Structure 1
Amino acid sequence: MTASMFGFGRLSAEGKVGIASGVVFFSMLISRTLISEQVDKNTRASLFRIQFILFINSLLLLGSLHIWKRVVRRLCGTRAAPTFPQRCWRLVVLLFLILVHGSYFSMFFLVDRDPHWFSLLSFSCLGIYVILLFFLVVFGCLNRFRRLLSHSRATEDVVASGSTSQTVLALILTAILAVYGLVNAAQPPRVVDVEIPMEKLPESLSGLKLVLLSDIHLGPTIGYTKLQRIITMVNELDPDVVVIVGDLTDSQVTRLRSAAEPLGQIKVRLGSYFATGNHDYYTADVEGWFELLRSMGIQPLHNSHAKVFRPEQTQDWICLAGIDDLEARMLRYPGHGMDVEKALSGCSAESPIILLAHQPHAAKQALQQRPDISLVLSGHTHAGQLFPLTILAFLANPFFCGLYRVSEHTMVYVTPGTGYYGIPMRIASHSEITKIILKRA
């Protein structure tokens, strides 16, 4: 029985890679369903790394084939004896694509106190890849649309000649945006002041200063130096409370213990708290991070809550709760899974409730269960981080970025994140440290 009997042999290269991507993706889902919770964390982490690298690189290969066709074959032609400049161009593009495909290998194998040069280079190439692929696809769609409008030979010739100039334009636009994105992401996070009126807030807690961090993503492109700068800025704000709403890390504690050291320098009057994000579970080492955070004076809120009050007014307090990320249950992480009722069990109906929920979808679900929540703090979206991913992030989330009034008594704030994920670029978004002042409504 041969592949041609099923028509597989007649598929294009992109079609074959697409099928392979689907196979890898469904194998990930099946293994997540069947894997035993008794499997140790190192085995789980290794399995996830292998599957993730296979899946990501099979998807990247689809885009790489398209980029090679448009950027090499269209600009250099398919002559058997290319000129020296053409050979050099082919080599440059090939090296670029190799770096792109190596980016996620560096995420799992080149993580240390501060980013490795290969990690920074490969993830920068990945950002360039995303932008370039977007422009190539958009220009390709425009050309197809023009062909549909007219079937004349003259139009075909115009479209064919224009596609080369469009490829050059795509390269120029990509270069401009990539430089801007790299420079923008390298800047310190912006400090954004947000005043939130809150019903049921005791007079003694009016004016309480809460500093919100999220999506720091300690890992291949963010390490000790950037985290130290973030914590220095946080301490300059003189906060009453500091909260980290998920995606603190992209690797295990053993790899990032030294990179995380600045977290122990947070100066705060009433406490520091942490709730998990999806990437924290991808590390398969949530308990290790909980232990490290506790040793640094940061309390993990694992479907639990803490009472926030001033020492001189212990009878006036805020219920600050945190829930496990939505994906904890999907990943079958032992002992974890979003549980709003458990997190809020024991919260007084007379006290305001602030909930830490990493994903906006979790915020929406929590409010459907408990409409008495006063404020939900989320992250996850990165405000898109990198155009054109901004469009996908906006469409995929019920709350995208900023402050939302959900009802007369409830608000949601979504931070664009304090760091960035992998790619050291930000286009149409900025890193943020949010200073929230709570006011009595």
Structure 2
Amino acid sequence: MESRKIMYSLGKLSVEVKVAIATGVVFFSMLISRTLLSDAVDIDTRAKLFRVQFLLLVNSFLLIGSLYIWKRTVSAFTRSRCVSQRVALCWRLVVMLFLVFAHSSYLTMFYLVAEEPYWLAMVSYTCLGAYIILVFFLFAFGCVGYCHKHITQDGSPSKPDLPAEAIVSAVPSSSSNRQAILAVALTVVLTAFGLMNASLPPEVVRVEIPLPKLPPSLDNLKIVLLSDIHLGPTVGRSRLELIVHMVNNLDADVVVIAGDLTDSQVSRLLTVSEPLRNMKSKLGSYFVTGNHDYYTADVERWYSHLRSLNIQPLHNGNARVFRAERKEDWICLAGVDDLEARMLRYPGHGMDVKKALTGCAPELPIILLAHQPRAARQALQERPDIGLVLSGHTHAGQIFPLSILAYLVNPFFCGLYRVGEHSMVYVSPGTVYYGIPMRLGSRAEITEILLRTP
């Protein structure tokens, strides 16, 4: 009897609420499996399970937004007497195709990774970017319309007990249609601009940083910082060849890759990553992991592959950087595993600042590679003697409105920050992009860092 009551109660819930509940179930299943299955199954099986769960979680979230988009751009619009049945049918098909492409974007990460991006992957991720922008504008305009309607009615809201979902339905249909049309138009314009901006070569940004304790013999040392290349379904070999060519033109002493090099396994990206073999640096090239590198569940193979490409992984470790004429003057270049390695319970991995800095001389400068700005803050709290931390991860938001979220959740967002009296943090906006081939409000960057004696 009780089960029937529960089923009856669930049956009365709106579709949006049911989808939200399903999303919560998928999310908690991910947390449980991370804990209970971490030692029970091998890493490849856990990787497959994580991908399936992540795919379900993302599409559950997307389904909530898709229902909202459909209501705002199709249901109200096609009921208008000014719209013919043929136009209404065509519009339904366009919106349906748009939503299908957006939902299939993450599937391309499993099936459409090749030397150069497939058109289907590019279209799907472009639709995903447009989807995010469209949801934001539809919701923002709906809120504005709802507030305007109630403020202008005798100076005060007339129905204070109106439910939350009435934010959309409370607006007159003609006004709602105008809002939907404006939201779609803005989305199209911003999507076109974002695609053009992301297609440009990375901008070379030169930054001079005074580094405490830097010996005179290492003054003007040049470090080229790369981050968030995201080799995968929408970033292929030709883009990487361009990056390597630009790096080589800078004549770097050291090249560092601050995480998120890849979104797939080594076996799928062998030919794509081959241009890294030609990347030149006088004193060495180095790499630390980002969160997406761990999502591939193939970190150890990536470490081996990068070594074969003459790039040294810093797995909670460090290297001495010095010029041949004065070997006693050196910089301790250290790197830590990404913060999420421990959360994902990746065997043998996890951020360990103490281990990474073992052997670093206290009288000489320390530079730390830490993918996430939150890791940079933690490292500086643990070791205030670190002179410079190089990070990425934020993409400077990559597209609006994700830039708002990225700004709020990261202690350092983009660019150079001074922390205390003797430490600095530089956060790269990323050298390419993640998945969505768009950039709004930021530009892909290769950072040329010149170290100066204070």
By the TM > 0.5 criterion, same fold? yes
One of 411, 418, 429 as aligned partner of 1:416:
429
State the shift of 1:77 in Å.
1.4
- Write the letter of the residue equivalent to 2:64: L
State the shift of 1:7 in Å.
2.4
Paired residues of 1:3 and 1:9 also in contact (CA < 8 A): no
- Rounded to whole Å, the distance in 2 between the matches of 1:166 and 1:104 is 29
Identity across aligned pairs (percent)?
63
- Rounded to whole Å, the distance in 1 between the matches of 2:385 and 2:306 is 30
State the shift of 1:163 in Å.
1.5
Trace 1:362-441 onto structure 2 (pairs within 5 A).
362-441=375-454
Paired residues in the alignment total 440
Trace 1:136-151 onto structure 2 (pairs within 5 A).
136-151=138-153
Paired residues of 1:4 and 1:10 also in contact (CA < 8 A): no
Alignment RMSD: 1.8
One of 31, 34, 38 as aligned partner of 1:32:
34
Q: Deviations over 1:63-107 (max 9, x none)?
A: 00000011111111189x971111111011111111111000001
One of 286, 291, 295 as aligned partner of 1:282:
295
Q: Deviations over 1:82-139 (max 9, x none)?
A: 7111111101111111111100000122111111111001000101101111100101
Gaps of at least 5 residues in structure 1 are none
State the shift of 1:2 in Å.
3.0
Residue of structure 2 equivalent to 1:249: 262
- Rounded to whole Å, the distance in 1 between the matches of 2:42 and 2:305 is 19
- Write the letter of the residue equivalent to 2:259: G
- Rounded to whole Å, the distance in 2 between the matches of 1:41 and 1:301 is 21
- Rounded to whole Å, the distance in 1 between the matches of 2:429 and 2:318 is 24
Residue of structure 2 equivalent to 1:336: 349
Residue of structure 2 equivalent to 1:118: 120
Residue of structure 1 equivalent to 2:246: 233
State the shift of 1:150 in Å.
4.3
Paired residues of 2:145 and 2:171 also in contact (CA < 8 A): no
Normalised by the size of structure 2, how large is the TM-score? 0.94
- Write the letter of the residue equivalent to 1:133: V
Distance 1:439 1:282, change over 3 A: same
Trace 1:5-16 onto structure 2 (pairs within 5 A).
7-16=9-18
Paired residues of 2:146 and 2:170 also in contact (CA < 8 A): no
The 4+ residue runs of structure 1 with deviation greater than 6 A are: 155-158
376-385 or 140-149, which deviates more: 140-149
Alignment partner of 1:314: what SS? coil
State the shift of 1:210 in Å.
0.2
- Write the letter of the residue equivalent to 2:47: A
Distance 1:266 1:157, change over 3 A: closer
Paired residues of 1:246 and 1:274 also in contact (CA < 8 A): yes
One of 52, 55, 58 as aligned partner of 1:56:
58
Gaps of at least 5 residues in structure 2 are 159-168
Trace 1:11-410 onto structure 2 (pairs within 5 A).
11-37=13-39, 39-77=41-79, 83-151=85-153, 159-410=172-423
Alignment partner of 1:313: what SS? coil
Alignment partner of 2:330: what SS? strand
- Rounded to whole Å, the distance in 2 between the matches of 1:148 and 1:319 is 62
Distance 1:247 1:108, change over 3 A: same
- Write the letter of the residue equivalent to 1:112: A
Distance 1:292 1:403, change over 3 A: same
Alignment partner of 1:305: what SS? strand
Distance 1:67 1:238, change over 3 A: same
